[in-house]
Amino acid sequence: MDTDQQPNDMNAAEALAWLVEMGADEIMGEAAVDRFAASVVAETPKPIAIAPIQRASTLPDQSAADAAAQASSCETIEALAQALNYFDANPLRKSATQLSFIEGNMQSAILIVGDRPRNEEDKSGQVFAAKSRVLLIAMLAAIEIKIEDVALMNFIPWRPPGNRNASENEIALCQPFAARAIELIQPKMILSFGAIAGQYLANGDASVLRQRGKWLAVNGTPVMTTFHPDELLKLPAQKKLAWRDLLAFKMKWDELK
């Protein structure tokens, strides 16, 4: 690299934030370092402290097989959220900061389902937070729905490390809890932001582009899938398709009201 070449317009703070967001946890220098030799004299670093999630004092071993049993035994949304908060079988439970599972009006006829928490949801515990929440409010307002009048749920209630996609096993451990939440809320319609809910609860396609624009159903409840607000913020050109999905949702909702 030419020593006279200047860095681009991203300043040092922005570059560091970008590296953290991308999951970088180590800086690589130009020369190799013998970490084993260094460990002889270096003190073992202490893990970074994060805000703890509430844990039970003792928990039995849990597996994918008993996730459905635990979910089905919950008779209220509060009990379901508590069961998830203690569900150590899911690796995501151990790496996340907060449970971002459910909020809003549990008596609503409309359930809004997100796919998974991002950074801001992990920090706040909300289903949608920060810019995604602002955009969601605007999207719902465009079809005459207020956010305070609906129930909101994340299918995956914990942020995957580095904002990666959840594994099949991690999703399988979340599925019974999401399905039980729908049984308890008993919505008349579901608006899904992201493909996961439609894929794992209604046998829809794994792609939002191929799933959206088509009506699916969860135990007879109509489901319309569209793009997550976070994706629309990154890909604003998809807003035209999202608007069509919202109009289709409003048309059916007007019929059911």
Per-residue pLDDT in tens (0 to 9) along the chain, 257 residues: 444 444 455 455 665 565 555 555 555 555 554 443 444 343 433 433 434 444 443 334 457 778 999 999 999 999 999 999 999 999 999 999 999 999 999 999 999 999 999 999 999 999 999 999 999 999 999 999 999 999 999 999 999 999 999 999 999 999 999 999 999 999 999 999 999 999 999 999 999 999 999 999 999 999 999 999 999 999 999 999 999 999 999 999 999 98
The CATH class, in words, for 64-256 is alpha beta
For 138-147, which contacts have Cβ atoms below 8 Å and span 24 or more sequence positions? 139/229, 139/242, 139/246, 140/112, 142/243, 142/246, 143/246, 143/247, 143/249, 143/250, 143/253, 144/250, 145/110, 145/250, 145/253, 147/104
Phi/psi at 123 (5° precision) = -75, -40
Give the tokens for residue 238.
């998809």
Q: What is the pTM of this model?
A: 0.76
User: DSSP assignment of 95-109, as one string?
Assistant: H-SS---EEE-TT-S
